[in-house]
Structure 1
Amino acid sequence: MLIANPRSSHTSYPGALRDILNIRAAHESGAWLSKWEQISGAATPLWDLPDAAAALGVSELRLKDESFRSPLGSFKALGAPVALMRLVMRQWRAHDIEPKALITGHYAQMLSNLTVISATDGNHGKSLAAAASSIGCQCVIVLHANVSFEREQAIAAYGAKIVRIDGNYDESVEHAARLAANNGWHVVSDTSYEGYEVIPRDVMQGYGVISAEIVARLNEEPSRPPFTHVFLQGGVGGLAAGIASYLWEHYGAERPNFIVVEPQQADCLYQSAISGLASRATGSVDSVMAGLACGEASPLAWKILDRCIDHFMTIADDDAIAAMRSLARGSERDAPLVAGESGAAGYAGLAVLMKSRDLAQAAGLGPTSRVLVINTEGATAPSVYRELVGETANAVEARQAAWKLRVVQ
């Protein structure tokens, strides 16, 4: 399903939104994280996929690959640590804390009694647990019924205490808030709700690092025109807001067209586009795209998305699985790529639209389109990846290494 957003604006980036998310703070976040051992020192790859572009019927297709961002395996490594650092700096303002020293554990003794908590579908919780371990504070992670034991183990490996509940993601968010209130802990969540916006803003600001790297790479290729379309994963809206706000501020009225993709059964942003307000999903929210299985849009993220997302769309789980397999296969000119269930969603959205002339035309897609998609995660649940793709992530990575050698030669 595809819906156009009548409130989308191709104007200069509004000052009111710049007060929420802005390029300056995104660059600051990137500088702070540069000293963290869990972050790659190099920009993540921006793969060129000419064979996929030709097969789908667009002029250019490039994929920003966040599976290379961190040993944590996803873009979430950019959000939770930044939010935790800013929280500590606000709470201990009188200590004039140096951010790069903070993330390397310099203040661990002072912070040993600080406890942070969050609900998660997997990747945010793992990143928060890793950041808390590096900084030296305590971490509690609330998991709902649909989070796999494999993901639980990955989070617990960073020393976090795990709390399991029945129910879905939104219920785990509520449970984390109650535990925080009862114990004097601090919630570090990537979704906002009434009275809770500062930390989700900080999380989203970290995601602007992705856009900063994209712009820097394009500046090295002045002969290539800018992208016409950018596909962004949905979830609660944080990633889409963090990336789109940066590109909107950078390009102004000439910004790309933004398309948000989410699971059919977790369509909270699609429903928000219909109502004009941050809304709840209408489905069961039990998608294979675990990182996007969110039932309620972030009101703070929606303030950004409502003004700049041109189209919202939903896809089936089978569409995401097909995209995972297609990216893993690669081709003569396209590297084999490891994209997790949520990571492949943007590519899946493009593939779904290009199968229908009417849908492609409605989204302004065609043979002259230059498209960017984001692979937000690698195989963060290796057994799930193997089951869905039919081979291990290690096998795909080996073929990718062989492809690189052949291309270089």
Structure 2
Amino acid sequence: MSENASFLPALPWLARPSARTWRCAPAPVEVQGFHAALPDYAPTPLIELPSLAAELGIGRVFVKDESCRLGLPAFKALGASWAVHRTLAERAANGMEAGPLTLVTATDGNHGRAVARTARLLGQQAHVFVPQGVHPQAAAAILAEEAKVTEVPGPYDEAVRLAAEAAAAPDTVLVQDTAWPGYERIPGWIVEGYSTLCTEIDEQLTAEGAVEGPDLVAIPVGVGSLAQAVVAHYRSRLSGWAPALLSVEPQAAACVLESLRLGEPVGVTTGETTMAGLNCGTPSSIAWPYLQGGLDAAVAIADADSARAAGDLAALGVSSGPCGAAPLAGLRAVLTGAGAEKRRTALGLDAVSVVVLLSTEGTAANPHSVIDH
């Protein structure tokens, strides 16, 4: 563990004071323009919730509401659409035949549905592997996009392995949102696609008078792809304000927290959690350098805390399942209870701080809120 890190046994939490000075390259500038040209594109709402700011003793709290993105109840279409666009463009540039492809992926729900939707709209086919524990309604939503669905009697990592094997067949392409050595280009494009979400936040905060941007962004984390995009966006700035970045995971699957604690990417044995889309045991290989370099802190939360946060958001008019509500639950865990003042100081938060919570999916995603970040 780094000498600059702290790990408090009372709460699964780790802080890394040097992260705000880490820098990386930004996402391509043309990503947002690509999304803006899509027929169903519109920026998702950034909703201010003063009651949460008062509860947590900070200046302003905003929720980025991804409950309706490009016609789907989650942010995942941003990554899937850009990655498939780049894949097809590259094949055309290389003189490959333009015949139908089968886009193969593994998913806990929304990524697979986004790939299937993109394939259907572009006249391609999709084959989606779903792990054990995915709610039948999630699989049914993927089938409704005219995709083939294969149910896997094992965890998410096993579904990924089988999808990769299936993608070795002719006229197939693996469109997976986690990376490993030797498979990194398409996951990288998926991460680039998520950058539109961050660009929208900047524009919306400026309109709300928060010109410098957020002081903290809280991100739900599974394999770390969304967190990679957020880190890349805010840590690519050569000057100006750099916010604190907080990752939030289920206690049953805290692979990023454990990897940060050990200083290297490790796999963990996952348990059951209602945050099914965050139930991932291994960080993405391309995400890891960004997580290690740019995350200020990580926290793991209980299912009950996420459920409470989802209910509170619903009462405030924000549709959010357990995964999308995880950032609120994580922020509450950090800013309350034993050791809260030290954690608040570690994140640089005070009574005028601006916080953005990424609510990455709505309750319409499916009853168990699966989103595989």
* TM-score of the superposed pair, with normalisation by structure 2: 0.89
1:75 paired to 2:75: yes
Quote the Cα distance in structure 2 between the aligned partners of 1:280 and 1:223: 39
1:142 partner amino acid: F
Which residue matches 1:322?
308
Once the two structures are superposed, residues 353-395 of structure 1 have per-residue CA deviations (whole angstroms, 9 ceiling, x without a partner) of: 222251353243443332110110012345457xxxxxxxxxx
Deviates further, 202-211 or 270-279: 270-279
Query: Residues 7-406 of structure 1 correspond to what in structure 2 (within 5 A)?
Result: 8-11=18-21, 13-14=23-24, 18=25, 22-23=26-27, 25=28, 27-37=29-39, 39-40=40-41, 42-94=42-94, 111-183=98-170, 185-222=172-209, 225-250=212-237, 252=239, 254-284=241-271, 286-330=272-316, 336-356=317-337, 358-364=339-345, 365-384=349-368
Q: CA offset at residue 113 of structure 1? A: 2.6
1:65 partner amino acid: D
Q: Is the 8 A contact 1:69 1:75 kept in 2?
A: yes
Q: Is the 8 A contact 2:22 2:293 kept in 1?
A: no
Quote the Cα distance in structure 2 between the aligned partners of 1:30 and 1:248: 18
2:351 partner amino acid: P
Instruction: Provide the identity percentage.
Output: 33
Secondary structure of 1:372's aligned partner? strand
Which residue matches 1:398?
none
Which residue matches 2:3?
none
Task: Count the aligned residue pairs.
Answer: 356
Quote the Cα distance in structure 1 between the aligned partners of 2:237 and 2:208: 17
Quote the Cα distance in structure 1 between the aligned partners of 2:100 and 2:146: 15
Tell me, which stretches of 5 or more residues in structure 2 are unaligned? 1-10
Quote the Cα distance in structure 1 between the aligned partners of 2:116 and 2:75: 15
CA RMSD of aligned residues (A): 2.1
Q: Is the 8 A contact 2:270 2:279 kept in 1?
A: no
Quote the Cα distance in structure 1 between the aligned partners of 2:33 and 2:16: 37
Q: Is the 8 A contact 2:62 2:355 kept in 1?
A: yes
Question: Cα–Cα, structure 1 residues 366 and 219, in superposed 2: closer, same or farther, change >3 Å?
Answer: closer
Quote the Cα distance in structure 1 between the aligned partners of 2:186 and 2:47: 32
Secondary structure of 2:71's aligned partner? coil
Once the two structures are superposed, residues 273-326 of structure 1 have per-residue CA deviations (whole angstroms, 9 ceiling, x without a partner) of: 012222212432x21112211111001011111111011110011111000000
Q: Is the 8 A contact 2:109 2:134 kept in 1?
A: yes
Once the two structures are superposed, residues 47-106 of structure 1 have per-residue CA deviations (whole angstroms, 9 ceiling, x without a partner) of: 11111110122221111111132321101010011111111111121569xxxxxxxxxx
Secondary structure of 1:218's aligned partner? helix
Task: Identify the structure with bigger relative contact order (alpha carbons < 8 Å, sequence gap 6+).
Answer: 2
Question: Cα–Cα, structure 1 residues 266 and 252, in superposed 2: closer, same or farther, change >3 Å?
Answer: farther
Quote the Cα distance in structure 2 between the aligned partners of 1:196 and 1:231: 28
Question: Cα–Cα, structure 1 residues 30 and 234, in superposed 2: closer, same or farther, change >3 Å?
Answer: same
Secondary structure of 2:178's aligned partner? coil
Quote the Cα distance in structure 1 between the aligned partners of 2:44 and 2:262: 36
Secondary structure of 1:153's aligned partner? helix
Q: CA offset at residue 202 of structure 1? A: 0.3
